[in-house]
Structure 1
């Protein structure tokens, strides 16, 4: 049988195929559909509050009684300095003016109105809700959280974008490592928000495999059976897919966004910090062209919180020039079938190789 079973047995699934978290795209319905395909669903909790996280976990549990991973951001929050306050005001005014010039009337939040929380309350929430798997990105959990989670029996999956990050995760006792290639869609899982390793996914996977002894999951560019096979040959025992599911029935993307995906060209897919303050791969648009490499990008998560209302307004107006449409480098036909069917078809195709 092709499918390696080390990860499958640990996670309680038949196939070591993982639906990527994709905050803003994935839904509890997508998670449940992934579990119906005997794969691992991932519930994106990002940096939500504990109460919001609990609400989503319970909503997902109503749809499936199978295991799924809760996924959180473990970023650090920069200190609010006088310079940050000044830059925030200038950035807010610039983006509001840019939006008005393109007939989007919005008032973005002041710095004092932005609510931020650390991941620690989410750790307590997933334990309280008796989740069995926690995956995370943007860094590593602190030692106390790792100990608390392991004492409560959770399997931990960290994300790396370099060999150095993989070694840190392994040393701290993380059970599995998701190796994220630079070609993957959405945000980079890098520990450092400002400096992402410029290494292709297959090269990275090979090197991480040579340096660590924990099971590896690979994410980035998986869109058909041949990519799964190649990644398995390089040492991955798990396969995380996100780009493949963007236009699925359960995706939170609206029809106009799905249509934009189907027309995307390879030279339109870029890395940008303009929406969130962290590098993310998506479709280039007017907003990115103006903001990228400008002085109007705040550190994460301030830029992300500041632009949230702009992205919501753009989605409401069906204006793809002012929202973040995250996508990986592997362009395909973006099926609108259910997540369950897309994953089952992938598994069937792998079986034919």
Structure 2
């Protein structure tokens, strides 16, 4: 049998393939399509409110009766100090001027108008809605939330970018670990946003395999059957894919963003904090070149909230130079087929190569 069944049995799915929870790119339709293919769909809830989370959960349930994971951010919220207030004002003024110089008409929010939400209200919503799989990133759940979720039969999947993070997750009772190699697109799952760890996927995978005793999913660089088989041979029990679904029919990316992906070069894919205040891997553009390595980057999530309106306005104008276009290091053809077709092709090709 080609597919390991440890995670499949635990999650109640046919294949240990996980659709990556790409907040802002994946949709309820993508989640449901992955689930209906026999894989684990991931519903990206990010740091949405409880009401917004419930709406998306119910919307997804209308599209599939198969298991899917809710995915949330569990970051620590920085204290609002006088220094942060001053930095916010300066950053807001700088970004509004930058937008104006580039013919983007946008008004960015003031600090007092930004609502920062704790993940705890999402935990309550997830329990109330009967979700039985919860994945999370940017840190670890607190002990109280872990206990409450386990009491309600929720399987927990935490994200690590280092061996120490993996050991922390294991020690706290997390059921499955998602091992995120540096090749992965989008935001790094690193616990400490100011100390990004760039450990290559194969090295990290081997370290986790040798030192951690709970099953793990690997994320980062999987884009075809050969890369998946290589990860399987190194001991992964599950395989998370996101990059191959970026241009899919169910992706929320617009045509101009998908076109840019199809033209991307390897030297254009970089790590940046400029959009959100947390390191994320994506396509370099004018905004990144101007803002990266300046004083105009607030801690997450304040930078993310501040730039949200700018990114939205740029997207409305189809201005690729001011949107965050996240992608991993494995460049491919970025198929625009359906999520189901892309995943079924990967499954079929993986099984074929496994037989050879």
User: Does the alignment reach a TM-score above 0.5?
Assistant: yes
Q: Counterpart in 2 of 1:3?
A: 3
Q: Counterpart in 1 of 2:101?
A: 101
Residue 198 of structure 1 deviates from its aligned partner by 2.1
Q: Counterpart in 1 of 2:48?
A: 48
Q: Counterpart in 2 of 1:224?
A: 224
Q: Counterpart in 2 of 1:211?
A: 211
Which runs of structure 2 are paired with 1:23-38 in the superposition (5 Å)? 23-38=23-38
Q: Counterpart in 2 of 1:301?
A: 301
Q: Counterpart in 1 of 2:140?
A: 140
Residue 55 of structure 1 deviates from its aligned partner by 0.4
Which runs of structure 2 are paired with 1:108-257 in the superposition (5 Å)? 108-257=108-257
2:257 aligned counterpart, secondary structure: helix
**Partner Cα separation in structure 2 for residue 3 and residue 11 of structure 1:** 14
2:318 aligned counterpart, secondary structure: coil
TM-score by length of 2: 0.99
Which runs of structure 2 are paired with 1:254-273 in the superposition (5 Å)? 254-273=254-273
2:72 aligned counterpart, secondary structure: strand
- 1:194-245 Cα distance to aligned partner (Å, 9 max, x none): 1111210111010011110000100000000011100011110000000010
Which runs of structure 2 are paired with 1:83-98 in the superposition (5 Å)? 83-98=83-98
Residue 164 of structure 1 deviates from its aligned partner by 0.2
1:96 aligned counterpart, secondary structure: helix
After TM superposition, the runs of 4+ consecutive aligned structure 1 residues lying more than 2 A away are none
> Tell me, which stretches of 5 or more residues in structure 2 are unaligned?
none
1:159 aligned counterpart, secondary structure: strand
TM-score by length of 1: 1.00
Asked whether 1:276 is paired with 2:271, we answer no
**Partner Cα separation in structure 2 for residue 113 and residue 23 of structure 1:** 22
**Partner Cα separation in structure 1 for residue 222 and residue 284 of structure 2:** 21
- 1:278-324 Cα distance to aligned partner (Å, 9 max, x none): 00000000000000000000000000000000000010000000010
1:239 aligned counterpart, secondary structure: strand
1:117 aligned counterpart, secondary structure: coil
2:15 aligned counterpart, secondary structure: coil
Residue 266 of structure 1 deviates from its aligned partner by 0.3
1:77 aligned counterpart, secondary structure: coil
**Partner Cα separation in structure 2 for residue 158 and residue 36 of structure 1:** 23
1:352 aligned counterpart, secondary structure: helix
Q: How many residues align?
A: 353
Residue 325 of structure 1 deviates from its aligned partner by 0.2
**Partner Cα separation in structure 2 for residue 314 and residue 145 of structure 1:** 38
- Between 335-344 and 31-40, the greater mean CA deviation after superposition: 31-40
- 1:234-268 Cα distance to aligned partner (Å, 9 max, x none): 11000000001000000000000000000000000
2:333 aligned counterpart, secondary structure: coil
Q: Counterpart in 2 of 1:71?
A: 71
2:105 aligned counterpart, secondary structure: coil
- 1:41-65 Cα distance to aligned partner (Å, 9 max, x none): 0000000000000000000001001
